[in-house]
């Protein structure tokens, strides 16, 4: 997923200033116990499980922005 604030979207260039990538892996009905992942983010760039135990369960991975990787 490529996400950013809607007011930062430029329809003329079709770009979003300051947008970032976020990776999502859907694992229906997965839980913190079955994945070993926390149910809340514990720090930047750490995976965690969102909506555990539901059909919407998924792992969230939000890499650091390029300017923070250096």
Domain that holds residue 70: 22-70
Please identify which residue in the block is written with the tokens 């555990």.
52
pTM value surpassing 0.75: no
- What is the rounded CA–CA span in Å between residue 59 and residue 34? 12
The gap from C-alpha 64 to its chain's centroid, in whole angstroms, comes to: 10
Q: Return phi, psi of residue 12, to 5°.
A: -70, -35
Count structural domains, the chain: 1
Residue 13 in any domain: the answer is: no
Residue 17 inside a domain? The answer is no
Does some domain include residue 7?
Answer: no
pLDDT one-digit tens code per residue, 4-63: 776 688 889 888 887 888 899 999 999 999 999 999 999 988 999 999 999 999 999 988
The answer to whether residue 31 is domain-embedded is: yes
Structural domain contains residue 33:
yes
Q: Is the residue at 12 inside a domain?
A: no
50 in a domain, yes or no? yes
Q: Could you report the per-residue pLDDT of 7-21, keeping only the tens digit for each?
A: 688 889 888 887 888
**Which residues have CB under 8 Å from 41's CB, separation 6+?**
48, 60, 62
């Amino acid at each position: 997923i490529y996400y950013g604030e809607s007011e930062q979207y430029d329809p003329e260039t079709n770009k979003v200033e300051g947008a970032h990538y976020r990776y999502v892996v859907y694992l229906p009905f997965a839980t913190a116990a079955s994945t070993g992942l926390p149910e809340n983010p514990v720090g930047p760039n750490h995976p965690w499980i969102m909506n555990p135990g539901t059909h919407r369960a998924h792992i969230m991975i939000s890499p650091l922005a390029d300017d923070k990787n250096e």
